[in-house]
C-alpha cells in the first residue's frame, strides 16, 4: 500500500483496510517505514544544485504558532525534464549559517555549483569548496528587468510537498514528526522515474530489512507510559471482560 500509492497513505487507510485495532498501531507501522526511507549509502547531490529555505504551510503546527523552517536542495532539471532531479529536505531550528552550512556540506558534493538567494546565512560557501552563485532581485525592478526567474527547481518542489501535506494528510502533521514525512516525500520524489511501482516496493523492502528494529517509544514524541485508572474487580473476583464484538477477519494470523 505504501509503495504502490502515488501519494502515499495516511494511517487511517491501513487501519481500515487491514482491520487494525487501533490508530496508534497503524500510525507506528507507517512511521517505521518512514524511518527507513533514508538510504545511508545514498550519494550527495551534484552538478548544479539550488538551495533555499522555506516555511511550510499545509497546517503543520510549528513552534509558537509559526510554520516550521525547512531547507530544500534540488538538482537542476535536465533538458528532457521540467521538474528538478533529486532533492533533499531537512527541518531547521533557524535560518542561521550555523544551521544552513552543515546541511549544504552534508547533502551537496564539493565542487558543485550551488545557487542560493542572497541570504547572509549562505555566505562563505565558496570557502567550503563550492562554486557559489547567490541571486538577488533588484529593488524596484520589474519582472522583465530581472536576470531570470530565481530558483526554478526548489520552488516547484516546495509547492508539491505543501500540496501533499494538505491532500494526503489533511495538514495534520505535527512538527515533532515532520522530518519523517519529508523523508517519505523525498523518497517518492527521487524514485518517481522508476520503471514500475514494483521496483519501488522492492527498494523500500531492502531498506526495511537492512535497518535495525524501531521501537514504538523511539517514534512517539512523549515516550512516558500512560497512567490508567484501576479496574474494579467483579463479584467473581475477576476483571470485567472486554466488550463483546465480532472477531476481525485477519487471515494472516491463521496461517
Give the pTM. Answer: 0.78
Across the strands, what pairs with 133?
Answer: 115
Closest CA to 91 of 178, 164, 203, 185: 178
- For residue 254, tell me if it sits in a domain: no
Which runs of E-coded beta strand occur in the chain? 48-55, 69-75, 87-92, 113-117, 131-135
- For residue 255, tell me if it sits in a domain: no
How far apart, in whole angstroms, are the C-alpha atoms of residue 74 and residue 85?
Answer: 7
Average pLDDT over residues 103-109: 95
Average pLDDT over residues 193-208: 86
Average pLDDT over residues 55-74: 70
Q: What is the pLDDT of residue 74?
A: 94
Q: What is the pLDDT of residue 218?
A: 85
Average pLDDT over residues 161-182: 86
pLDDT at 140 over 60: no
| Count of Cβ atoms closer than 10 Å to residue 13 Cβ | 16
Residue 175: CATH number of its domain: 3.30.420.10
- For residue 253, tell me if it sits in a domain: no
- For residue 14, tell me if it sits in a domain: no
- For residue 41, tell me if it sits in a domain: no
Range of lowest pLDDT (20-29, 125-134, 167-176): 167-176
pLDDT bin (cut points 50, 70, 90) of residue 62 is: very low
What domain range is 67 assigned to?
Answer: 48-137+148-190
- For residue 90, tell me if it sits in a domain: yes
Range of lowest pLDDT (93-97, 98-102, 198-202): 198-202
Closest CA to 132 of 114, 118, 120: 114
**Number of domains the chain contains:** 1
- For residue 142, tell me if it sits in a domain: no
Residue range 22-33, pLDDT digits in tens: 999 999 999 999
**3-state class of 187 per DSSP?**
helix
- For residue 89, tell me if it sits in a domain: yes
Amino acid at each position: 500500500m505504501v509503495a504502490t500509492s502515488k501519494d502515499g497513505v495516511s494511517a487511517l487507510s491501513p487501519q481500515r483496510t487491514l482491520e487494525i485495532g487501533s490508530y496508534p498501531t497503524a500510525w507506528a507501522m507507517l512511521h517505521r517505514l518512514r524511518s527507513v526511507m533514508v538510504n545511508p549509502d545514498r550519494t550527495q547531490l551534484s552538478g548544479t544544485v539550488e538551495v533555499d529555505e522555506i516555511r511550510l504551510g499545509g497546517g503543520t503546527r510549528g513552534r509558537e504558532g509559526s510554520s516550521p523552517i525547512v531547507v530544500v536542495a534540488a538538482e537542476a532539471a535536465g533538458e528532457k525534464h521540467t521538474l528538478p532531479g533529486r532533492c533533499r529536505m531537512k527541518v531547521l531550528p533557524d535560518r542561521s549559517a550555523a544551521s544552513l552550512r552543515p546541511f549544504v556540506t552534508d547533502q551537496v558534493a564539493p565542487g558543485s555549483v550551488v545557487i542560493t538567494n542572497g541570504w547572509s546565512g549562505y555566505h562563505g560557501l565558496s570557502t567550503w569548496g563550492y562554486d557559489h552563485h547567490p541571486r538577488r532581485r533588484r529593488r524596484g525592478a520589474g519582472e522583465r528587468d530581472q536576470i531570470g526567474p530565481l530558483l526554478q527547481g526548489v520552488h516547484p518542489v516546495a509547492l508539491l510537498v505543501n500540496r501533499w501535506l494538505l491532500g494526503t494528510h489533511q495538514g495534520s502533521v505535527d512538527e515533532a514528526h515532520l522530518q519523517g514525512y519529508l523523508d517519505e516525500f523525498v523518497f517518492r520524489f527521487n524514485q518517481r522515474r522508476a520503471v514500475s511501482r514494483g521496483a519501488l516496493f522492492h527498494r523500500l523492502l531492502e531498506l526495511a530489512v537492512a535497518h535495525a528494529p524501531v521501537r514504538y517509544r523511539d517514534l512517539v514524541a512523549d515516550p512516558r507510559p500512560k497512567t490508567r485508572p484501576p479496574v474494579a474487580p467483579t463479584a467473581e473476583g475477576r476483571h470485567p471482560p472486554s466488550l463483546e464484538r465480532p472477531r476481525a477477519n485477519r487471515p494472516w494470523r491463521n496461517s
